[in-house]
Amino acid sequence: MRASTFLDPVVLARIDDLSLVARTVVDGFINGLHRSPYLGRSMDFAEHRAYMPGDDIRRIDWRVYGRSDRFFVKEFEADTNANFTVILDVSRSMDYSSGGLTKLDYGRYLAASLIYFSRQQRDRVGFVAFDSEIRVLIPPSAKHLELILHAIDSLTPGEAGSLSGPLFRVAEGVRRRSILLLISDLYEEPENVVRAAGRLKGKGNDVIVFQVLDPAEISFPFQDPADFQDLETGERLAVKPAELAERYRSAMRDHLAAVSRSLLENRIDYCLFDTSRPLDFALFEYLSRRERLSRVR
Amino acid sequence: MNLIFLAPFFLLGLAALAIPIVVHLTNRPRDRAIRFPSLMFIRQVPHRSVQRQRIEHWFLLLLRAGAVALLVTAFARPLLEGSGSLLLPDDERRELVILLDRSFSMGYGDTWERALAAARSRIQRMSQGDRGSLIAFGSQPVLLVAPTEDEAALLSALEQVTVSAQVTRYGPALEAAAEIISQSDRPHREVVLISDFQRTGWVEQSETSLPPGAAFEPVDVSGASPSDYNVAVAGVTVERVRRGSRDWWSVGARLVNGSDAAAPDLTVTLRVEGQEIESRPVTLGPREATAVRFQDVAATDRPSRIEVAVGPDPLAADNRHYAIANAPASIPVLLIGHPQARPQELIFLERALALGSDPRFELRRRSFERVAPSDLDGIRVVIANDVPFPEGVGGRRLGEFVRRGGGLLAILGRRSDPASWAGAESILPGRPGMPVDRASDHGARLASLDYDHPVLEIFRSPHSGDFSAARIFRYRALELLPEAAVLASYDDGGVALAERRSGGGSVIVWTSALDNFWTDFPVHPVFLPFLHQAVRYLARYRPPRVSYRVGSVADLRQYFAEDEGIEEVVVEGPSGNREVRNLAEGEYGVQLEEAGVYQVRRVNSQQSPIALIAVNVDPEESDLSRIDPDEIVRAVTVAATGASGELGPQSLTDLAPEARERRQRLWWYLLLGALVLLAAESVMARRYGSRRG
C-alpha cells in the first residue's frame, strides 16, 4: 500500500458524521488490501444439518446425499465471535493539539474506525470512556455499533485523568474473554500503566495499548520563554524552553521506552501513535496484533 | 516655520505611551501561557524561571510607542506656521452672493424695508476686490446682478427690486447661489440669505448644498410677532344660477387665518366691476377657516370682474382674491340636412343640441344643396346628417373650414351617397361604402371603444355609460385611410366611429344614422352626452377659467378661436404693464406674474377687452410659520462641515478649502506614518508569536 493512499486525520476531521469517518477509514483500508471484506472468516467445518427450503443449494453436501439419499447442508463455524471493547481516555490532557487534530479527536476517530472494522468482522463491540471515572460504558454486543458511534460522537474532554481506578472497574465488569484496546496518552508512571493494563489482562483478555501523543509532546519545538500551563491541573510554570527542550525530549524518550518495555514484558501489545499519522496505520497495527494473538491462541 | 496644534488637548493622549511599556513589562508572558497536556516531564527537568520585569522586545515596543505618538499628534491637528498670518490666506478677496427673498410674504409690515437694509449693509461691507452678485427670488430665482466688483451696480439693482406675488422656494435660489460659488476662484466664498424664513418655502428633501468651504449666513428679517395675525381669501367660487326669468351670479369665498393669533374685527367685501356689492364683519380664530356666501348679483352677458377682499391685516397681498364671472359660452353649429328628411329623422339630433347650457349650442340649419361659403362664417362645428357631401363651392369651403380648425361630424345614413363623399377624401378618415344590414341578427353592437379619446373619455369609468345596449341595424361600411383613427367598432369588426385630423381641425364619421331607423342609439342615455362631447371636442371648446395662480401660464386660445382673424393682442397687467402677443406667430401663452386682473385687447382698440384673466397669489404663502434658519444652515453646509457639523458657518469663512488643506496637510503624513508603524508591528508581533509557538 502506497503512503499516498493513507487518510490524513486533518482531512477526516472535516467530516462531521463519525460513522462516515469510520466507514471512510475502514472501507478505504479494505479496498487497499484488495481482500475480502469478511477477512478472518473461518471456513472450518462444524456440522451437517438437514436441508430446509430456502437454503442455498450450493451448500448441499452431495456426497452425503450420495450415501444417505437425503439432503444435508454443511455448516461452518466462524471464529469472529470475540468481544471487542475500546477503552478511550477522555481526560483533559487528551484535549491538546499543536495544530492538527487534538489527541482526543484522533482517539475518537481511531476508536470509531476500529469498532466499525471489528463489527465488519462480526465481533461484538463495546466501548468505555473514562477520565478519573468511567464516563461512558457500553457493554459488548452485536447490536451496539450505532449506539457506540453516537456515544463517541458526543464525547467531550473530561477532568484530570487516572488509569488505575477506571481500568480496575472495567476489568471487574468483563464477564467473557475479550479483546480490550486502551487508547490513552498514558501520562502516568510506567509501573502504574502496567499495573492498570495488567488488571485488564487478568481474565485472559487480550489487551492492546495504543498511546496517542501530539507531535509537539514528543519533539517539544518551543523556543521562547513562556508560561506553560498544565491542562489538567491548571498549574503554571514560567520556563525557557530553549534551555530544557533537549532534556525534556530525553525524559519523554525514557518514559516511552519504559512504558513499551514494561507492557511487552507483561505480554501486552503496545503501539505509539502521534496524531499526524494516518488512521490507516492504526488498522494495520490492530490487524497485525490480532493476527499475532490468534496465532498464539 | 513653527509648528502649532489646532487641537492641542489631544496631546494629552501621549500619556497612552505608557500602555505599551506597561504591557511589555507586565503582561507579556502571563497572557500568552502555553497550554500543555502535562507538566510531568517539564517538572522533572531542572530549569530557570523567566524573569518577568524585563523588556525583551525593544523593537516591538518602539514600534507600538511610535504608532501611538504619531496617532496622538495627528489628532492634535498640527499646523505649519509660515511667516504671515496663519489662518488667513494671502488672497482675502471674497465672492459674495446675496439671496433676497421677495415673495409676497415679505410685504408683511416693514419686513421688506428691513430686508433691503440688510442687503444694502452687506453690499456696503464689501472690501476692495470683493465680488458680489444679487439674486432675488420667490418661486424662481432671478439673477439681478451677475458677479461684479461694482458696488454701485449692486446698490442700484437693489433699489429696483420690489416684492413679487410669488411664493417662497429656497431650493432653486440656493442652487443658483451654489452655481456661482462653485465657479468662483475666490478663497473666501459667502452666501447671504435674507428672508422671513417661511417654513412652506423649505422642502426638506432638497439636496441643495453649497460647495465645501463656502460660508452661509442666514439673515432673518421676519417681523411677525406671535400676536400678529394674517388672514387671506383662499378661494372664490362663482356660479351662474337662474332664478325666475333672470340669471344671477352666486359668489362664495373661503377665508383662512394662517397664523396662531385670532383675527378679530375683520371686514369681508364683495366687489363686482369695482363696485362694492356687500360688506360684512367676520372674525377668525387661530388657524381657522370659514366660508362666506354673498347675496346674488344680477348676471350679465359680458365677463365681469369679481373681487373679494378681507382685512385689515399687516400682509395685504393675500387679502384680495379675483375671479372672472364669464358670460355663458356658446358653440355655433351648422346642421346640414337633406330637404327630403322627415322631421322625425332630425328630432333626436336637434333636441339633444338644444339641451346644451354650458356651453350652449347655437344651431343653424342648411340643406346640403344650398350650402354657401358664407354659411360657415363663425361656425365652429358642422354636422352633415345623412346627406351627400355638398358639391361645388360649399363643399370646397367645407374642406378648407376643417383644415383651418373647424370640426365636421359626418353621419352616414341612407342618403349619404358614397360617390359624393369620395370628393371629400382629403379630410375623411375613410371611404364610405355600401350599407351593411344587421337587422337579421338583431342588430350590431358597439363592441370596442377607445376610451382614451377625449370624446369617449367621460364614459371610461364603470357605470358611466353603456354603449353596448344600443343596436345598430344598418350601417355603412367604411374603408379606412391610413390617417384615420378608429374610435369605436361594431361586434363584427366594422368601423362605427372614426376620426381624421386635417390641418387644425378634425372630422369624425359616425357610420350609421341617428334617426332611430338604422339604429336605436339616439334613444339610449349615452347618446346625449356622447353628442355633446363630440361637438365640444370638434369645436375644441375649453371652459374659461375663473382665476389663475401667480406663476401660471394662460392660453389665449380659450378666449377666442384662431380663425377669428385676430393677429395681435395687447395683454395689460394689473400694474398697467402692456405686452403685445403675436397670435399669428403662435404666441398664445401669457406668463401671469402679478396678482389682479389682466385685460386682453385688440391692438389699437379702445373697445372693451376681449378677455379678462383673474390672477391670485398662492394661499400657501399666507402661512407665516417660520423655519429655524439653522435648519437650512445645517442642510446646505453639511457637505462643507461633514456630518459632525463641528465647524460653525462663520468659521468656514476663514479659509478656502485648498488653503486650509494646504496648512493642515501634515496630519495626513503623521497618520500614514502611524499606519506604517502599525503594519510593521503586526508583522513583528506575528513573527515573535510564531517563534513562541
- Divide the 297 residues of chain A into consecutive groups of 10 and give the mean pLDDT of each group: 46 59 60 38 63 81 88 67 86 87 88 82 86 88 86 87 86 82 89 86 81 88 81 81 84 90 85 81 69 50
| Amino acid occupying residue B521 | F
Query: Does A60 lie in the same domain as A206?
Result: no
Q: How confident is the model at residue B57 (pLDDT cuts 50, 70, 90)?
A: confident
Q: How confident is the model at residue B100 (pLDDT cuts 50, 70, 90)?
A: very high
Burial of B356 (0-12, 13-18, 19+ CB in 10 A): buried
Beta-strand (E) ranges in A142-186? 178-184
Query: Does B668 lie in the same domain as B639?
Result: no
Query: Does B646 lie in the same domain as B669?
Result: no
Residue B311, by phi and psi: left (phi above 0), alpha (psi -120 to 50) or beta?
left
pLDDT of residue B204: 66
Query: What ipTM was reported for this prediction?
Result: 0.74
Query: Does B513 lie in the same domain as B365?
Result: yes
Query: Does A60 lie in the same domain as A184?
Result: no
pLDDT at B596 over 80: yes
Q: Determine, yes or no, domain membership for B605.
A: no
Query: Does A175 lie in the same domain as A50?
Result: no
Q: Determine, yes or no, domain membership for A281.
A: yes
B43/A contact by beta carbon, under 8 A: yes
Query: Does B118 lie in the same domain as B189?
Result: yes
Q: How many domains does chain A have?
A: 2
Query: Does B335 lie in the same domain as B212?
Result: no
Domain end (from B514, B538, B562): B538
**Interior/surface letters B434-451, b for 16+ CB within 10 angstroms, e for the rest:** ebbebeeeebbbbeebee
Query: Does B264 lie in the same domain as B348?
Result: no
Percent of chain B with pLDDT strictly greater than 70: 89
Tens of pLDDT, residue by residue over B546-594, are 889 898 888 887 777 655 677 788 999 998 888 888 887 888 888 898 9
pLDDT of residue B116: 94
Residues of B in contact with A225 (CB under 8 A): 29, 50, 56
pLDDT at B515 over 90: no
Query: Does A90 lie in the same domain as A69?
Result: no
Question: For residue A235, how many other CB atoms are within 10 A of its CB?
Answer: 12
Q: Determine, yes or no, domain membership for B253.
A: yes
For A244, the domain range is 3-34+80-296
Tens of pLDDT, residue by residue over A141-186, are 888 888 888 888 888 888 888 888 888 888 888 877 788 889 998 8
Query: Does A275 lie in the same domain as A244?
Result: yes
Q: How confident is the model at residue B651 (pLDDT cuts 50, 70, 90)?
A: very low
Query: Does A121 lie in the same domain as A96?
Result: yes
Query: Does B491 lie in the same domain as B478?
Result: yes
**Which of B26, B41, B688 would you mutate first to test chain A, the one with the most A CBs within 10 A?**
B41
B44/A contact by beta carbon, under 8 A: yes
Q: Determine, yes or no, domain membership for B575.
A: no
Which of B145, B140, B219, B218 has the alpha carbon at shortest distance from B175?
B140
Q: Give the mean pLDDT of B134-154.
A: 92
pTM recorded for the entire structure: 0.50
Do B39 and A185 lie within an 8 Å CB cutoff?
A: no
Query: Which residues numbered 56-115 in A keep a CB inside 8 Å of some CB on B?
Result: 93-94, 96, 98, 103
How high is the mean pLDDT of chain B?
Answer: 84
Do B32 and A214 lie within an 8 Å CB cutoff?
A: no
**Which of B36, B52, B684 would you mutate first to test chain A, the one with the most A CBs within 10 A?**
B36
Domain end (from A23, A58, A76): A76
Q: Determine, yes or no, domain membership for A149.
A: yes
Q: How confident is the model at residue B649 (pLDDT cuts 50, 70, 90)?
A: very low
Strand partners, B582: B568
Query: Does A268 lie in the same domain as A170?
Result: yes
Query: Does A246 lie in the same domain as A114?
Result: yes
Which of B639, B653, B656 has the alpha carbon at shortest distance from B215?
B653
Residues in contact with A165: Cβ distance below 8 Å, sequence separation at least 6, in sequence order: A132, A133
Which of B653, B521, B554 has the alpha carbon at shortest distance from B89?
B653
pLDDT of residue A170: 86
Q: CA torsion angle for B579, B583, B588, B591 (degrees, to 10)?
A: -10
Do A227 and B34 lie within an 8 Å CB cutoff?
A: yes
- Spatial contact of B351 and B379, defined as CB atoms under 8 Å apart: no
CA atoms within 13 A on the CB side of B588: 10
pLDDT at B653 over 50: no
Do A96 and B691 lie within an 8 Å CB cutoff?
A: no
Q: Determine, yes or no, domain membership for B576.
A: no
Q: What would the grid cell of residue A279 be?
A: 488512521
Query: Does A26 lie in the same domain as A13?
Result: yes
Q: Determine, yes or no, domain membership for B550.
A: no
Tens of pLDDT, residue by residue over B256-296, are 988 888 888 899 999 999 999 999 999 999 888 999 999 99
Query: Does A145 lie in the same domain as A56?
Result: no
Q: Determine, yes or no, domain membership for B569.
A: no
Query: Does B241 lie in the same domain as B133?
Result: no
A229/B contact by beta carbon, under 8 A: yes
Q: How far is CA A96 from CA A213, A216, A217, B63, in A?
A: 9, 10, 9, 34
Query: Does A50 lie in the same domain as A140?
Result: no
Look-up of cell digits 446646505: B636
For B299, the domain range is 231-327
**Interior/surface letters A161-194, b for 16+ CB within 10 angstroms, e for the rest:** bbbeebbeebbeebeeebbbbbbbbbbbebebbb
A218/B contact by beta carbon, under 8 A: no
Which of B105, B125, B314 has the alpha carbon at shortest distance from B227?
B314
Look-up of cell digits 461691507: B125
Query: Does A210 lie in the same domain as A121?
Result: yes
Q: Determine, yes or no, domain membership for A40.
A: no
Tens of pLDDT, residue by residue over B207-226, are 678 888 888 899 999 876 77
